[in-house]
Amino acid sequence: MPTITFDKKRLVKLIGRSLKDRELEEIINSLKSNVEEISENEIKVELTADRSDMFVLEGFARSLRNFIGLNSPEIKIYDSKILVRQEEVPVRPYIACAIVKNVELEDEVIKGLMNSQEILHETIGRGRRKVAIGLHDFDKIEGEIWYKGVSRNERFIPLGESEEMSLIDVLAKTEKGKKYGGLIINANKWPVFVDDKGIFSFPPILNSERTKITENTKNIFIDVTGTDKNAVKQAMNILVLMFGEMGCKIEGVRIKGRKEIFTPDWIEVPIEIGKKKIEKFLGERFSDEELKNLLKKMGYKIILEKEKIVAIAPPYRFDVFSEIDVLEDIAIAYGYNSFVPELPNVFTKGELLEIEKISDEIRELLVGFSFQEIVRPTLTNEEVQFKKMMVEGEAIKIKNPVSELYTQTRIWLLPTLMDFLSKNTKEPYPQRIFEIGNVVLPDKKSENRAKEIRKVAAAIAANGSFFAEMKRIVLEIAKRLKVNIEFKDDKHASFIEGRFVRIYSAGEEIGFFGEINPQVLENFKVYIPVAALEMKISESNP
């Protein structure tokens, strides 16, 4: 969801009707986007990822203009008869080209162009990987145009430089080269556009100084290259929309590779929908006239038939490919708040999960024993979970952690409680805390290679002996779990020797309790005795 700042004055001028800020905001918010800020000169909008045609000012204005019922000019593609010869360039196999005639490039228009180009590079282009766009002064291009892969030692004068450089030097020495060089560096042949005078474009890195756009440029040659055919087409059609809205004449180009194609691929998308389907899906009946107006508001043309309609989406709407997309646009045009919400007469019985019911019972029990509940993250780290507890173990590790505090899943709850106590040593004692939560252990046999266990852990930090009370609480929890338990003295590095007991039910260990080893207390800087218990409530697999 990109956030884009538009020039408010240019926007209003393009729409063709003066609108108050409040009106603008309402229209924009009715079209999926969200207005974040409106100032005197600018308007900051969060756009949804599907409406890439609205990422550029001209496309944004067109959608708004249509929505308020004004007419938008039809954008046509003429044939320039120009031929671009395409060789195979495996690192960027897809291209589209076009020529824009009669441009008037005032300073602010050039600025807007550069801005839109960058937005398209970042969004559809995914940082120029999928798509890169080059704009050139068409009148500076001479003779035959070729797209081909060349050696890294070929030379040209890149944009902003005064000397010829080899392509490898462009990667090594220019700012853009350093930033985007990684996209092609491993390829044998690097992509370039050449004319009779040599290289004039080196996508996805830099254009040439020779063909650069200036305020005197009258005609523009567009090159779009990329690794994704659909994204290349999408970027090109948004550029066509942009220049078309500016009133320029757009000419297509033949591209002759293994096959000959014509770009831009500016084709409307017709979608048929039965009228019954519209009524069934939206729960509202619309007349032909209404449907016509609603779809026009969203930029469609429409053919009305007896039982069905054909909605024709403009060539820049890449989010429209099935019935449902048209149905949504009808709903948007009608206004979500114009529908009267309805509750269907569906009877179902609601129910809480068993594991949650038991968890709640144990929660209430522990509150009765004066424990404060805590809620902490499932993610923890090696230090807290193993080292400070003086044990070893295997957790599920995250490959891309963002903080050293959260690098793996917890496999037991007690370290969470110890960590909590260690952060509250200034707070009056006794401190009685508990948590009910999930631990996640590796489990090769499960489909997700993990095992999740719902557990409860409680701790008492206070002067005095609470071993016996812990045992009482364990017995009470067992009652709620409806299990018979047995106790067995054992050893555990986190606990004082002779003060650690394992809890068994039907031969399976389901928990333990005891008094924490003073060395562990020291590790956590908790200078008061702690008695603790941990028990399994339930196990779950996907």
Contacts of other proteins in 332-351 (CB under 8 A): 332, 336-337, 339-344, 346-351
Determine if 234 is a binding residue for other proteins (CB under 8 A).
no
Structure tokens at 227: 């690794």
- Nearer residue to other proteins within complex by CB, 5 or 48: 48
How far apart are the C-alpha atoms of 93 and 305, rounded to whole Å? Answer: 42
CA distances from 416 to 190, 375, 436, 500, 538 (A): 54, 10, 11, 19, 19
Q: Which residue lies nearer to other proteins by CB, 284 or 476?
A: 284
Scanning residues 33 to 72, which ones bind other proteins (CB under 8 A)? Answer: 48-51
Q: Closest CB to other proteins among 246 and 413?
A: 413
Contact 515, 502 (CB under 8 A): no
Q: Is 243 in the site for other proteins (CB under 8 A)?
A: no
Which of 250, 245, 192, 194 is closest to 219 using CA atoms?
250
- Which position among 266, 371, 513, 524 is part of the footprint of other proteins (CB under 8 A)? 371
The residue (of 287 and 336) whose beta carbon lies closer to other proteins is 336
Q: Does 462 bind other proteins (CB under 8 A)?
A: no
Classify 121 as helix, strand or coil.
helix
Q: Cα 227 to the chain's mean position, in Å?
A: 20
428 lies in the site for other proteins, by CB under 8 A: yes
Q: How far apart, in whole angstroms, are the C-alpha atoms of residue 40 and residue 187? A: 48
Nearest-approach distance from CB 319 to other proteins, in angstroms: 8
Residue 367 has phi, psi (to 5 degrees) of -60, -40
Q: Identify which of residues 102 and 541 has a Cβ nearer to other proteins in the complex.
A: 541
DSSP β-bridge partners for residue 489:
501
Q: What's the token pair of residue 325?
A: 């997309």
Closest distance to other proteins from the beta carbon of 398 (Å): 5
Least distance between other proteins and beta carbon 64 (Å): 14
Closest to other proteins by CB, 420 or 466: 420
Minimum CB separation of residue 341 from other proteins in Å reads 4
Q: Which is nearer to other proteins, 215 or 364 (CB)?
A: 364
Q: Give 289 or 342: the residue with its C-beta nearer to other proteins.
A: 342
- Specify the residue, 146 or 429, whose C-beta has the smaller distance to other proteins: 429
Among 41, 484, 519, 541, binds other proteins (CB under 8 A): 541
Does 447 participate in binding other proteins (rule CB under 8 A)?
Answer: yes
Residues 6+ apart with CB under 8 A from 34: 28, 45, 46
How far is 363 from 373, CA to CA, in rounded Å? 8
First to last CA, the chain: 31
Alpha-carbon gap, residue 393 to 41, rounded angstroms: 59
Contact 7, 57 (CB under 8 A): yes
- Token output for 496: 């004082």
Q: Which residue in 81, 259, 280, 482 binds other proteins (CB under 8 A)?
A: 280
In the complex, minimum distance from the CB of residue 10 to other proteins, in angstroms, rounded to a whole number: 25
Torsions phi, psi for 356 (to 5 deg)? -75, -35
Q: Taking CB under 8 A as the rule, which mask of x and - marks residues 149-168 in contact with other proteins?
A: --------------------
Q: Return the residue of 377, 393, 498, 518 that touches other proteins, per CB under 8 A.
A: 377
Residues that bind other proteins (rule: CB under 8 A) add up to a total of 91
Minimum CB distance to other proteins, residue 290 (Å): 16
Contact 366, 373 (CB under 8 A): yes
Phi, psi dihedrals of residue 510, rounded to the nearest 5°: -120, 5
User: According to CB under 8 A, which residues from 73 to 132 bind other proteins?
Assistant: 126, 130
Residues in the chain, overall count: 542
CB of 349 to other proteins, least distance (A): 6
Q: Which positions from 298 through 317 interact with other proteins, judged by CB under 8 A? A: none
Structure tokens at 194: 């050449």
The region of 99-107, 190-198, 264-272, 444-452 touching other proteins under the rule CB under 8 A is 444-452
